[in-house]
Amino acid sequence: MSRPLDIENLKVWKLACAFEDGVLDLLERSPRAVRDAKFYVQLGDAASSVPNNVAEGFYRFNAVEFANFLRYSRGSLGEAERRLRAGVRKSYWQQTAADPWLALAVQLGPAISGFRSYLLAAAARKRARERRRKRR
């Protein structure tokens, strides 16, 4: 049973894990990508970095630090998207095989950015409240 503050309740976490799982599965099903060790590792690392950075930020228990790790996560998502497209150009897989994961990335990117904005706004509101309290 999950609690309200469990990472499993975060939309960005769920989407990031689905993205990672899909990309890693795509890699495993492509013998040509498996043979290109550098490409294989780089795409796998980028895809895994998306949820890994969400998790690291979440467990910092600080909104500003969490937002910073979401920035890293968004960057890794961009790298993974680019490499997915490169896999099509290199004929490691067909465009139709990459499309579901590229579509998920299109959904995940704004979710990460929006959540990051929310955290930064919440942190700014908290700092403003603290400054007002100190002035009293």
pLDDT at residue 127 above 90? no
Percent of the chain whose predicted confidence (pLDDT) is above 70: 97
Percent of the chain whose predicted confidence (pLDDT) is above 90: 85
Q: Please, what is the average pLDDT of the chain?
A: 94
Neighbour count for residue 99 (Cβ, 10 Å): 12
pLDDT of residue 129: 82
pLDDT at residue 3 above 60? no
Q: What is the pLDDT of residues 63-90, one digit of tens each?
A: 999 999 999 999 999 999 999 999 999 9
Q: Render 24-57 in DSSP notation, one character per residue.
A: HHHHHT-HHHHHSHHHHHHHHHHHHHHHHHHHHH
Token representation of residue 56: 């690291």
